Structure 1
């Protein structure tokens, strides 16, 4: 716990957390506005016009979408925090001091993973509170009730928490793979923002070439897509069940954590 507290202190005493926090707040506000407009249209009987069907067309489905607004960019921000927790050691040349103070490198990486998960929880809690307050007001005024007693809403909130925790762990893993801070941040951001669009386009083109809609479901192997699938709650012709996305993300987290520990134990810090 002393190591975890020290990792939290490193983040808390810099401007990193609040700059990313502001970014997460703005992303949440923008996403909520878009999701609120979409929810109004869907619940007003225009679901087919927007390609929304099944559970997502219900009041509970739209409430779950509202209460998890901002997840897409929010996960990017917590991933960057995980990356910075590792790369800051090399950027500020404190890695040698850290590992001399705590020679057991595995303990250091595990403490970073633990601290990153706590920060992910903090970001999830802050964005969820904003979404819950704004969402309950919007749904009540729109005449659909808060829907807070529905299981799809509870499931979306819990799985959203899991997504935030996992993406901070992925960030730590990326930081151990690419110790250069600028390189790690740019690579991760490009893969997340641009790579996701490229992967979705490739699977769409592949499905047309093979004349099979089922191929599109395999885009869930990309972690950003898996996050979206996980909190969706229901499968469609283009997406698998939510638990498939959850398994994919957990798999990435386990692999990232193990590789992070192994690489750090063998790396020459001097």
Structure 2
């Protein structure tokens, strides 16, 4: 517990947390606006279940509204979690930290705990806003709120799981790369640009080689997140639980590998 308090103190004494918090607000607004506009277009075309947009269900549309801000929120959680580790090397405090706590895995576990707290905080913030604005968006489309339907709360709960798993991935990546600037740039590019590139690659492979590659695109972490929260959105999509397995695998590999490397690496 003392290690967790120490990590929280390190976080509070930097300006990064409130910069990320301020950044989250406009990004959330953009996400809500996009999901609202998309839902409006789909419902006006009278395809709430299956139609011109393919395999798009009312459940998918509503789930997206109630989890607006996931893409940006997860990115900020990912970056801030990684920075919890890279800050130690950037400010040359890693040596003191590990000399104070020789069992380095305990330090990493404390950082993981703080990263998960960050994830929960971001989730609470965006979810609170979604519970306010999603019903307004649905009302503008002459739809009910669907708050009495289990699929809404399932999507909201799974969105929390997504945030927590990405926080663990961030800690692992921070240990693996160590450079604060390098980590930030690499994760941002892979998360934002890489998603589009890998999606296009799998689409090309599916059309030129075998359609099975459309199912394999779930290996892209951000697409695994979408599948887990919103469920299948196309005839080639795999079941929801596959997204959870993929994302959990990335989190476990990054966390375990990062901890093992930290225990063996020279930090002087």
User: Shared fold (TM-score greater than 0.5)?
Assistant: yes
CA shift at 1:103, angstroms? Answer: 1.2
Name the residue aligned to 1:147. Answer: 146
CA shift at 1:258, angstroms? Answer: 0.6
CA shift at 1:116, angstroms? Answer: 0.3
Deviations 1:78-133 (A, max 9, x none): 00011100000000011111111111101000000111011100001101111111
CA shift at 1:201, angstroms? Answer: 0.8
Aligned-partner SS, 2:172: helix
- Tell me whether 1:51 sits opposite 2:53 in the alignment: yes
Tell me, in whole angstroms, the C-alpha distance in 2 between the residues paired with 1:41 and 1:57: 14
Name the residue aligned to 1:130. Answer: 129
Asked if the contact 1:42–1:52 (Cα under 8 Å) also holds between the matched residues in 2, the reply is no
Asked if the contact 1:64–1:156 (Cα under 8 Å) also holds between the matched residues in 2, the reply is yes
- Tell me whether 1:224 sits opposite 2:222 in the alignment: yes
Name the residue aligned to 1:163. Answer: 162
CA RMSD of aligned residues (A): 1.5
Tell me, in whole angstroms, the C-alpha distance in 1 between the residues paired with 2:148 and 2:9: 38
Aligned length: 266
Q: Structure 2, unaligned stretches of length 5 or more?
A: none
CA shift at 1:49, angstroms? Answer: 6.8
- Tell me whether 1:17 sits opposite 2:17 in the alignment: yes
Tell me, in whole angstroms, the C-alpha distance in 1 between the residues paired with 2:40 and 2:146: 15
Tell me, in whole angstroms, the C-alpha distance in 2 between the residues paired with 1:90 and 1:50: 52
Name the residue aligned to 2:27. Answer: 27
- Tell me whether 1:39 sits opposite 2:57 in the alignment: no
Tell me, in whole angstroms, the C-alpha distance in 1 between the residues paired with 2:37 and 2:211: 29
Asked if the contact 1:203–1:215 (Cα under 8 Å) also holds between the matched residues in 2, the reply is yes
Range with bigger deviation, 145-154 or 43-52: 43-52
Tell me, in whole angstroms, the C-alpha distance in 2 between the residues paired with 1:143 and 1:168: 37
Q: Structure 1, unaligned stretches of length 5 or more?
A: none
Aligned-partner SS, 2:267: coil
CA shift at 1:41, angstroms? Answer: 2.2
Tell me, in whole angstroms, the C-alpha distance in 2 between the residues paired with 1:12 and 1:142: 42
Q: 1:96 to 1:50 in 2, by over 3 A?
A: farther
Name the residue aligned to 2:232. Answer: 234
Range with bigger deviation, 133-142 or 89-98: 133-142
Asked if the contact 1:217–1:239 (Cα under 8 Å) also holds between the matched residues in 2, the reply is yes
1:1-270 to structure 2, matched below 5 A, reads 1-47=1-47, 51-53=53-55, 56-58=56-58, 60-210=59-209, 212-234=210-232, 236-270=234-268
Deviations 1:21-79 (A, max 9, x none): 122221111111111111122223443675153xx432x43221101111112111100
Asked if the contact 2:32–2:65 (Cα under 8 Å) also holds between the matched residues in 1, the reply is yes
Asked if the contact 1:61–1:153 (Cα under 8 Å) also holds between the matched residues in 2, the reply is no
CA shift at 1:253, angstroms? Answer: 0.8
Asked if the contact 1:155–1:233 (Cα under 8 Å) also holds between the matched residues in 2, the reply is no
Tell me, in whole angstroms, the C-alpha distance in 2 between the residues paired with 1:150 and 1:234: 18
Deviations 1:138-160 (A, max 9, x none): 22343212111112211111111
Tell me, in whole angstroms, the C-alpha distance in 2 between the residues paired with 1:128 and 1:29: 13
Q: 1:18 to 1:238 in 2, by over 3 A?
A: farther
Range with bigger deviation, 163-172 or 1-10: 1-10
